[in-house]
A and B are shown apart, each in its own frame.
Chain A
Amino acid sequence: MAIDKVTLEVLKNHCVAAAESMAYTLYRTAHSTFVKETEDFTTGLTTPEGFTFATPTELGATWFVGMNYGSVIESIEHYEDGDVCVTNDPYSGFVCTHTPDMHIWKPIFHDGEIVCFAVGHIHNTDVGGAVPASLSRTLSEVHQEGIRIPPTKIVHGGEVNQEVLDILLTNVRMPEQNWGDMKAQLAAVNTGERKVLEMIEKFGADTFRQGIDDLLDYAESQARDIIRDLPDGEYFFADYMDEDSVDGWPCRIALNLIIKGNSCTLDFATSDPQLESSMNIPTGGEERHVMMLVGLVYVLYTLDPRLFLNSGITRVSRCILPSGTIVNPEFPAAVGMRTLSAMRLQEITFGAFVQAAPDRLPASPCSGGPIMNVNSVDNRNGRRVMASIGPISGGAGGNPIEDGAEGSGANGSFLKNTPVEINEAEVPIKILRYGLAPNSGGAGKYRGGLATEMRFQAQAPNTKVTARNRDRTRFRSWGVLEGKAGTNSAFLLNPDSNHTVNLGNTDILTIGPGDVVHVAAGGSGGWGNPLERNPDDVVQDVKCGFVTPESARDTYGVVLENGSHNPTETQRLRDTLISNRENGEAFFDYGPERDKFESVWTNENYTALSDLLDDLPVHWRFFMKHRIFEAVADDPDGGSIRDRFAKIVEEFPELSRGLAS
C-alpha cells in the first residue's frame, strides 16, 4: 500500500537531500579539474532493482535522470555489506555508454537485505587507448577506446580490490587522477549510504522501501499527466549529423513519435546503420535506455517544471531501436563520440514534440559548437601546455514567449566557459575576439539565441588545436512555424586574409605562430514568422548588433529610420514580403543546404535505403550506405535507390547469395 502523501513529500526531500549531498561530496573531493570544470558526473539512489528514484539537480550532468542500473546490478552474483562495484564497459549491460564514464554502485543493506543502491559516474579525463582522452571520431572499435572493466567489485567487503585497481591504473595516462576521482566517487556513495540509513531510522524500513517505489510512481503519474495533455498522433522528425565519419556522408537519425493517451512510443527504425566511426550510441536495444530519453525528460520538464526528476518519468515511453543501427550498434562498434550523436538525438526529440506542442516548446537550440583544446609550448618558460579553452556554445531556440537565450541555453545550459583572462594567462594564445556571433540566431517572431564565437592567435610553432564535437557546418538548427534556421557553425584558419582555409568539420589542426583560428557555433532556430516580430524589438536588435540592418530589412521587413523605424514603410515592405514568400506552409525551416540535400535524398529515398540496408549483414551496412551515396552523388539521375542497390549487390556474389536465401 502506498505511503501517505505527506510522508511522501517529506521522504522525497530527504531522498533528494541524499542525492544532492552525494553530488556535493563528489564535487568537493574530486581530484581532476575536468570534473570541477565540466561537472560531467552523476550521483543518485536506485531501488534494489536499479531504477533511479533520486537524482541531484544542482550539480552534475543532466542526462542521467532515467538511469536504470538493473542489468549491471544483476550481473554481480552476490553482494555483501561494504561492496562497491564498477564498470566502464559500454557492452556490459549498457549502463556505461562510453569508456571514460566510470559507473559505480554500492548496495545498501538493512537487516541483511539490500534496500537500495547508491550509484553514480564520473567522466574520466583518460582511460587509455589509442588517443589521449580516449575519444576520437577516427576510432572504429571499442577496443581502441581504452581499458574496459566489466562489472566488478572494486571494493569487496570494505577492502579495495587492489588487483583490479592496479590493472586499471596501469592502462591509463594519468593514473593518479583516475584514482583520485574514484576516491571521490567512493566518498559519494558512502555519503549516500549514511543518508539512506538515517532515513530508514527516521521513516522505518517498510515506509522507506514502499516510499521509494511510490516516488517512481509519483514521477510517472506527473509525466503521464503531461503526455495526456498533448494531442494523440504520429510526429515524424529526422535530422542529420554532417558526417558519419571523418569527411564522410550525412548521418540520419529519424524518430517517429507516437503519442497515445498518456504514453508514447519513440520509433527509431529508419535511423542510419551503425557507423564505422565512434558516434554510435550503445543501448542494447533497451526500450527505456537512458541515452534515448534525455530529450523526453527535457521536454516533459519544460512543459511542467514541477515534474519530479527520476526514472519513473521514462515509464511513459518505449523506444524501438533495431540492432545494427547507430542507436543500437553491435559489438565491437566504437562509441566514444556518442556525445555528438546524443546531442543531435535530443534535438530530434524536441523536433518531434514541438509538432505536438508548438505553442509551448522552442525551436532547435544551437549545436555543433566544439569543446576547444590547445596543446602548445609557452614561449615564456618553455613549458608544454595542454588545456581546454572552453566550449564554443550557442543559444536556445526562439520560443512561444520570447527570444532564445543568447550564447547558451536549452540542452547546453550546463556548460561553463573559461574566462578570456584565464585562458590568456594559462595558454600561450592571444584571444582576439570572444562574444556573440552577429546575425547567427534564426529569424523569427521570437528569434533564436545567438551563437558564441572566438578568434585567437597562436604564439608558438606546432600548436595543436582540437575541436571535439564539431558539427552543423553543413546542416543548420531548424526554426519552426515560419521561424528561420540559424546560421551554420564555422571553423576558419586565418579569416579575412588571402590564405583563409575553411576547415569544415575538421576536429584536429596544427598551426604556427601568427596563425589565427576563428570558431563559431551554429545559431539556434527562430520561432514564428519574422514578419510578425515587433519592429521595436528588431530596432533594438540592430542597435545591439545582434541583427544587421540588411537582415532587419530583408528578413524582418523593418525599414529603419533615425534610430527607430518608419511604421508606414515597414508595413508596406512587410506586405510585399508576405505576398512574395514561398512555402509559407512549412512547419520547419531547415535552411537551404538541407532542402537541397533532401531534393535528392527525400524521406522516401532515405527510408527505402534504410529498409534495404536492414536486410544486410551488419558489417556490410555502412559500406553499402557509402557506396550508394557515392553513386547518387556521381549521377543524381541514375535510377531509383532500389535499382542502384541491386546493381552494387551484384558486384559481391557472397552478398547477393546471402540476400537471395
Chain B
Amino acid sequence: MINDGLDHFSDRKTIIRMSYRVGVDIGGTFTDFCVFDEESGAVHTLKVLSTPDRPGQEVIDGVDAIGERYGVSPSDISYFTHGTTVGVNSVIQRKGINLCLFATAEFEDVLEVARLKMPDPYNLLSRRAPPLVSRDKVFGIQGRVLFDGTIDTPLNEESVREAIAGVRAVGGEGVVVALLHAYRNPIQERRVVEILRQEAPDLAVTCASDVWPVIREYERTVTAVVAGYVQPRVAHYLTAFQEALDSAGVPAEPMLTKSNGGVMTAELGKTQCAQMLLSGTASGVIGAASVARGTGSQAAMSLDIGGTSADVAIIRDGAPQYGVGEMIGEFPIHIPTVSVTSIGEGGGSIAWVDAQGVLKVGPESAGSSPGPACYGRGGKRPTITDAFVVNGYLGSAALGYSAVDIDVQRARRAVEDIAKSLGCSCEDTAEAIIKVAVSGMYLEVSKLVSRHGIDPRDLDLIAFGGAGPMLACFLARELGMRRIIVPPTPGVLSAFGGIIADIRNDFIRTVYADLDADVTDTLASATEELRLSGLAWLHEEQGFDGTPVMQFSADMRYRGQSYEIDTPLNESWIADGDLAAITAAFHKEHERLYDHADETAPLQIINLRLVVSGVPPKPKIAALEASDVPPVPTGSTAIYCDGREQTAEVFRRAELLASQQFSGPAIVTQDDTTSCILDGFSVGVDTLGNLILYSEG
C-alpha cells in the first residue's frame, strides 16, 4: 500500500510540484507537528502522543495524521526537521551507557571536584549529582602537554593499554578521552583515541577536544562526558527515526535541530550529539525570534510555559542570545547554546499552605501525570491550571486537541481544600494562587533581566507553550511590560522554529595571548583554519551549496579577569591586523554588558570563534486575510479577576482576521492553547496572524 501511494504521489509531485516543510518537536508527553505548505504559504499544526518506548512511532503516527487531516502526502515532504529530548532524558533518567573516562594521571578527580561550588550554599547537606562516570571508571593516562602546547612528558602508551584493560574489567561500553591542554595540542589525545580504535574497536569513543576544544578542563571534560554518555543512545534513536521516516515514505533527508538554534543532518547528529541536547528549547527561541522579526520587535522576552516549567529567553534585534554552561539535567555543557533560563513553575505547579499559613506555589508539580485535578486523572492537589479553571478562564473550549476534558468540579474541590486554611472563597483562593505563581515568575525574571542589565519595561513579551498565553497578561502586568505577542501557533512554536532555522555550526581555536602586534599572525592563520573548517562542514558534511554566512568573534578579556566576553569581529580587522578596531569592539561590548570599560587596560584574546551558517530559502507565510469588521465572539463566559466577576467574550482563534481589534476581558481559544486577555489590554491581529496585546494603562 505504502509503495503504491509513494509512486502515485511521486508522479503527482513532478507534475504539480507540491511541497511541504515539516517541523517536529518530540517532547515527553506530546509530539508537536508544524506543517508549512510552500505552495499556499499556509501553516498547519498537530499534536500526537509521544511514544518513548517505540522511538519513531510518533513520527509515523504524525505523518499519517497530517495526511488525513491536511491531505499532505509523505512523498511531498521536501524538508523535515525535528527536535528531540532523547539526549536530555538519557541524562536525567541516567539511562546512558556504562561510560569510562581517560584523564591525565594525577588529575583523575576532575569530575568529582568539578568547580567546587555547591547548588545550595546555605544547606550543610547540599551536594552535586554524582558524576556520570564514577571514580572507579576513571583511568589515568601518563603523558603531559603544557599550556603552550609543548610536550612535557611523552605519552606512555602502556598506560593507555592498562586503561583499556581497566575498561574491560568494569564492563565499559564507551570511553571519553579528555587530557590536560588538549584544546591547545590534541596530539596525545588523538593518539589515545587511535589506540582505542585499534585495540578496542567495539567501544564508543569520544574525544573531548573534538567536542568543543576550549580551555578549562572540568568544563571540557564534563561536556564530553555528557556527549559520550548519551551518544550511542542518540545514534540508535536517530537510526530508528530515519527508518521510520523512510517507511512513512518521506523522501526528505531528516534534519535535527541543535542547541545553538541551527540545524544539521540527523546523520551527523549521530556523532555530534553534544550539539543537539537542548534542541527543543533552542528551536522554540528561534521560533520566537522569527516572531520578533515579523512584528518589528527590537527587544523581547520569550516565555514558553509548559506543564512543569517556564523557559525564558532574551531576544535582541530579532536574534537570540547565546551562552555556554547551560544545564543538561544537573550537568553544565560548555558549547555555544541559545541562552534559556528555566523556571520551575508551569501549569502543573501545586499550591499549598505552609505552617505559618502562607500560600505557596511549587516547586512540586503535578506534571502531565497525574496532571492538574481538573484533568480527572487522579490529581487531587490544586495546580495553577486548576486556579484558571475555577475562575472561568479555562473550560469553555477543549484543550490539547480534545485530548483533555476539563472537570470544573474537580478543580473546585482541589482549590477548596486550601481555601479553608486561608479562610477565603474558592474564587479568591484561585486568584491568590495565580498571584503567588506570577510573583514567583516575577522573581525569576527579575534576576534574568538584572543579569543582563535590561529593564523589563523595554521588552515585548512573546508568549507561547501550552500555558504561556494563559499567564502572559498577568506576568506583563507584574513586570510593567506593555506589549505582548501571541504567535499563531503558540503550542507548536518549537516545531515551527525548526522549519525556519539555519544550518549552523560553531568553531573555535584557542589563542590565549596578549592582544598586541605579536599576535596578528597567529590570528590570521587561526582565522584561515576556522574558515576552512567551516566551509568544509557546510559544503561537505551538510551538502549545502548556497552562500555561507560567516560571523567571526573572539573571547576576550582584560588581563587579570577570569571570564571572557564573546566579542563580534569583522573578518577584515583580523586579516588586516587592525588591533585598534578589535580593541574598540571589546571596550564597546564590555561597556554594553557591564556598564564600564577601561580603555587603558591591556587585553587578552583567549579564543577565536566562527559561526558558519547556511541560510536555506525562508518560508513565505501567507498573509492573513484582513477584515474591517469587528470579530464576532462565539459567546461569553464569566471569569473572576481582580476580586470581581467579569464577563469575558470568547473568540475562536481560527476565525480571527488581520486588522480586527477587540479588548479584554476576553478569551481566545485554539487547539493548542488558551489566551487570557485581561481587562486593560486591547488586542489587534496582524497580517502574520499574531495577536498583539497592548496594555492600555
Does A pair with B? yes
Residue positions of A touching B, CB distance < 8 A: 5-6, 8-10, 13-14, 16-18, 20-25, 28-29, 31, 33, 36-37, 57-58, 62, 65, 176, 180, 183, 187, 191, 195, 198, 218, 221-222, 225, 297-299, 301-302, 305-306, 309, 350, 361-362, 365, 387, 391, 393, 396-397, 399, 401-402, 405-411, 413-422, 424-425, 430, 432-436, 452, 455, 540, 543-546
Contact flag A540-B216 (CB < 8 Å), given A33-B562, A302-B124, A362-B124? no
A-facing residues in B584-606 (Cβ within 8 Å): 593-596, 598
B residues near A405, Cβ cutoff 8 Å: 118, 126-128
Closest 8 pairs between A and B when the two form their complex, measured CB to CB: A435-B109, A413-B118, A24-B450, A17-B446, A544-B135, A543-B136, A13-B439, A21-B450
B123 touches A25 (CB 8 A): no
B436 touches A424 (CB 8 A): no
Residue positions of B touching A, CB distance < 8 A: 106-110, 112-118, 120-128, 134-136, 146-147, 152, 180-181, 183, 215-219, 353-360, 422, 424, 432, 435-436, 439-440, 442-443, 446-447, 449-451, 453, 480, 512, 560-563, 593-596, 598
A residues near B563, Cβ cutoff 8 Å: 36
A residues near B217, Cβ cutoff 8 Å: 419-421
A419 touches B218 (CB 8 A): yes
Contact for B358 among A5, A17, A408, CB less than 8 A = A5
B residues near A434, Cβ cutoff 8 Å: 106-107, 109, 113
How many pairs, one residue from A and one from B, have CB atoms within 8 Å of each other in the complex? 217
Taken together as a complex, chains A and B put the C-alpha atoms of A463 and B115 apart, in Å, by 26
Contact for B136 among A187, A418, A540, CB less than 8 A = A540
Contact for B422 among A5, A399, A408, A433, CB less than 8 A = A5
Contact for B127 among A18, A396, A543, CB less than 8 A = A396
A residues near B216, Cβ cutoff 8 Å: 419, 421-422
Contact for B124 among A29, A350, A414, A430, CB less than 8 A = A350
Contact for B122 among A9, A17, A57, A180, CB less than 8 A = A57
- In chain B, what residue has the closest Cβ to A387? B560
> A29-B594, A415-B116 given. 20 additional CB < 8 A pairs?
A9-B436, A13-B436, A17-B447, A21-B449, A21-B450, A28-B451, A28-B593, A57-B122, A187-B595, A222-B356, A302-B124, A306-B354, A393-B116, A396-B125, A409-B124, A410-B126, A413-B121, A417-B115, A455-B106, A543-B135
Taken together as a complex, chains A and B put the C-alpha atoms of A225 and B512 apart, in Å, by 55
- In chain B, what residue has the closest Cβ to A435? B109
A36 touches B561 (CB 8 A): yes
Taken together as a complex, chains A and B put the C-alpha atoms of A407 and B152 apart, in Å, by 28
The 21 sampled A-B contact pairs (Cβ below 8 Å) are: A5-B358, A9-B439, A10-B435, A13-B440, A25-B450, A33-B561, A221-B356, A302-B122, A302-B125, A350-B124, A405-B128, A406-B109, A407-B116, A409-B126, A417-B113, A419-B115, A420-B180, A420-B217, A425-B215, A434-B113, A435-B112
B562 touches A425 (CB 8 A): no
- In chain B, what residue has the closest Cβ to A434? B107
B123 touches A305 (CB 8 A): yes
Distance in Å: Cβ of A9 to nearest Cβ of chain B: 5
Taken together as a complex, chains A and B put the C-alpha atoms of A544 and B357 apart, in Å, by 48
Distance in Å: Cβ of A382 to nearest Cβ of chain B: 13
- In chain B, what residue has the closest Cβ to A393? B116
A residues near B183, Cβ cutoff 8 Å: 421
B residues near A410, Cβ cutoff 8 Å: 124, 126
Distance in Å: Cβ of A223 to nearest Cβ of chain B: 11
Distance in Å: Cβ of A5 to nearest Cβ of chain B: 5
- In chain A, what residue has the closest Cβ to B433? A6
- In chain B, what residue has the closest Cβ to A188? B450
A297 touches B122 (CB 8 A): yes
A residues near B152, Cβ cutoff 8 Å: 430
A residues near B117, Cβ cutoff 8 Å: 408, 413-416
Taken together as a complex, chains A and B put the C-alpha atoms of A249 and B422 apart, in Å, by 59
Contact flag A29-B596 (CB < 8 Å), given A421-B216, A435-B106? yes
- In chain B, what residue has the closest Cβ to A10? B439
Contact flag A421-B181 (CB < 8 Å), given A10-B436, A302-B125? yes
Distance in Å: Cβ of A560 to nearest Cβ of chain B: 14
Distance in Å: Cβ of B622 to nearest Cβ of chain A: 42
B residues near A422, Cβ cutoff 8 Å: 215-216, 562
A36 touches B125 (CB 8 A): no
Taken together as a complex, chains A and B put the C-alpha atoms of A8 and B432 apart, in Å, by 11
Taken together as a complex, chains A and B put the C-alpha atoms of A453 and B356 apart, in Å, by 45
Distance in Å: Cβ of B100 to nearest Cβ of chain A: 13
A5 touches B113 (CB 8 A): no
Taken together as a complex, chains A and B put the C-alpha atoms of A301 and B128 apart, in Å, by 18
Distance in Å: Cβ of B446 to nearest Cβ of chain A: 4
Contact flag A5-B359 (CB < 8 Å), given A297-B122, A361-B124, A399-B125? yes
A218 touches B356 (CB 8 A): yes
Taken together as a complex, chains A and B put the C-alpha atoms of A31 and B596 apart, in Å, by 8
Contact for B451 among A24, A393, A414, CB less than 8 A = A24
A6 touches B125 (CB 8 A): no
- In chain B, what residue has the closest Cβ to A545? B135
Contact for B447 among A24, A306, A361, A432, CB less than 8 A = A24
Distance in Å: Cβ of A315 to nearest Cβ of chain B: 15
Contact for A417 among B107, B116, B353, B439, CB less than 8 A = B116
